[in-house]
Amino acid sequence: MRDVVIVLGDDFELLDVTGPFEVFAAASQLRPGSYRVRLASVSGADAISSSGIRMGVHTRLADLDQVDTLLISGGHSAWQMERDEELLGHIRRLTAVSRRVCSVCTGSFVLAAAGLLTGRRATTHWAYCAELEARYPQVAVDPDAIFVRDEPFITAAGVTSGMDLALALVEDDLGPDAARTVGRWLVVFLQRPGGQSQFSVRNSVPAVQTIALRRLLDSIAADPAADWSVPVMAARTSQSVRHFARTFAKEVGLSPARYVERARVEAARVRLETGDECVEAAARSCGFGTAETMRRAFLREISVPPSEYRARFRSAALAG
């Protein structure tokens, strides 16, 4: 039986804990005796999540002498945990006797504070990647990865990426068939396509103040294949080309061309996921013109070419 210990503190992110816990629990239902999962903290007392839910803790860290997999949860609790010398000491001690050490979300800050990520690659929630890099410059931060392996350390991005990480560990331990079955039960990807940048472009930009610009963004989302050259977009907002480009970049945080490209990639992803048309047809229908133009856009935006994206999605769908 593989002993998995999830470390948490008050103000932890609930899904950082329950997501991986559910993956290991499902794997143990599929293969009885595969895992024993316990929650641990310095005090051993119940912990309160950032959403206000109380979580029972199984054991104190001081009572552990060896584990198979040590996982540090994240959330606002990390800011206290990375300053808790008693906790950091236990993490260093248990790292020496663990087969692998993992973190979810801002849990990577705790590992970095313990000096365990020095000279290693790691990731964290996209909103905190720059902070992790600035505060711990000895860590090579990958801002787009869902999770990063630098054995024996494996760091995951934000919140639900803990499930991606746990599924990868189940695949390591029990094989791909078991991991696919668990993913199917939990209705999640076995291997999520793309990285942390794969968010809806319309929802990922700041709330713009200009009414004409908001309407333009809605129009681009509704019909990404239309002619969205800068002169056309400027005319739609009744602005000069120079003023439009400056206003767009200031309010949206992207150049007009980059925003349109992201909208088209998003539309193409949906077509590749749900339809049977060829890549060339998807490129034309989403405004790219050619498959090569779409391929380059996919590589820029999600680091996966369209053909591989479709193959990964279809593999995950078949597993489900």
**Catalytic residue ranges:** 105
Question: Position 112: which residue type?
Answer: A
Q: How far apart are CA 73 and CA 156, in angstroms?
A: 10
First to last CA, the chain: 27
Using CA atoms, how far residue 24 sits from 32, 99, 186, in Å, is 11, 16, 11
Q: Tell me the three state secondary structure of residue 310.
A: helix
Largest CA distance in the chain: 68
Separation of alpha carbons 204 and 55, rounded Å: 32
Sign of CA dihedral 94, 11, 102, 126: negative
Q: How far is CA 135 from the centre of its chain?
A: 21
The tokens describing 319, both together, are 């597993």
Strand pairing category for 54-55 and 59-60: unpaired
Q: What are the DSSP calls for 74-114, one per residue?
A: -BTHHHHHTT-HHHHHHHHHHHTTEEEEEEETTHHHHHHHT
Pairing of strands 121-122, 140-141: parallel
Report the alpha-carbon distance of residue 294 to residue 286 in Å, rounded.
9
The owner of tokens 């248990």 is 94
